[in-house]
Structure 1
Amino acid sequence: MSKAEDVVNAMIDACNRKDIEAALACFHEDVVYHNIPMEPVTGREGVRKTLGPFLDMAQQVDWITHKSVSNGVDLVMNERNDRLLMPHGWCDLPVMGVFEVRDGKIAAWRDYFDSAAVQALLGGGS
């Protein structure tokens, strides 16, 4: 496993613990976080404002990485299911993530998913 994979896995582990501060520590201060097809956000505070509410509203977080590939230097791609236990039950979002790592921190994070699935998650899906 590469150091780039280590930092991505540490961020996912922090999200699974609902520890936003530990997750934010994995990001470069000028990170660009883009949930495709939404607008990208920049900086750790942008990540906090986007990711934090999901971690806060979930009773439990269980992001499962099925496959992860890395160029061994600065790029990690993973296939995940981001699972959140909401008041109405588990919501399961299939995701493809792309992470660029610089200086041991995540400098760019792009997640690709079906936006209809997010609407179901927010509105009381599966």
Structure 2
Amino acid sequence: MSNTSEAIDNDTVIKEFIDLFAQQDATTLAPYLDQDIVFENYGSPVVKGRENVVSLWAEVFSTMERVEFTTLNQAVNGDIVIAEQIHGLALPGRPFAPIKNMAVYRMRDGRIVEWRDYTNSEYARTLM
């Protein structure tokens, strides 16, 4: 069944993508993002386009001393990937903050075309 192989591919793509965050090099994210990606981190402005999303993460990486994303659970249904994650972030000189996150990705041709992060921003601020 074609959906099974598609689901496996999308599962792998997102796992590889998440592992890249520890490198803190935004350019490594670009090949995983569709040119027309829409990134929405609730509570923040929507970011459209690969270059803009890469620029956003370059800024985050330059601000943070440490960035590590871990996937706890991940479910795939065709072109949709839902991932329960811990976004570990540390500002310089501050403790590592494990922030709970739920991410929803819509894939197209092996790339992320929509990415929505659901995080409790208020709680995240108390950790950082």
TM score, norm. by length of structure 1: 0.86
The residue number in structure 1 matching 2:83 is: 78
Normalized per residue, the structure richer in helix is: 2
2:35 pairs with 1:67:
no
CA distance in 1, matches of 2:50, 2:124: 22
Alignment of 1:15-26 (within 5 A): 15-26=21-32
**What is the Cα deviation at residue 53 of structure 1?**
1.8
**What is the Cα deviation at residue 66 of structure 1?**
0.5
Aligned residue for 1:25, secondary structure, equals helix
- After TM superposition, the runs of 4+ consecutive aligned structure 1 residues lying more than 3 A away are 117-121
CA distance in 2, matches of 1:118, 1:50: 18
Alignment of 1:72-111 (within 5 A): 73-87=78-92, 88-111=94-117
CA distance in 1, matches of 2:58, 2:11: 22
The one-character-per-residue Cα deviations of 1:15-57 (angstroms, maximum 9, x if unpaired) are 1221211112100000000001322110112212322222222
Aligned residues: 121
Q: Please, which of 7, 14, 17 is the counterpart of residue 11 of structure 1? A: 17
Which has the larger Rg? 2
CA distance in 1, matches of 2:14, 2:112: 7
Aligned residue for 1:2, secondary structure, equals helix
Alignment of 1:103-122 (within 5 A): 103-120=109-126
User: What amino acid is aligned across from residue 60 of structure 1 in structure 2?
Assistant: R
TM score, norm. by length of structure 2: 0.85
Residue segments in structure 1 that go unaligned for 5+ positions in a row: none
Counterpart contact for 2:29–2:54, Cα < 8 Å: no
**What is the Cα deviation at residue 118 of structure 1?**
4.1
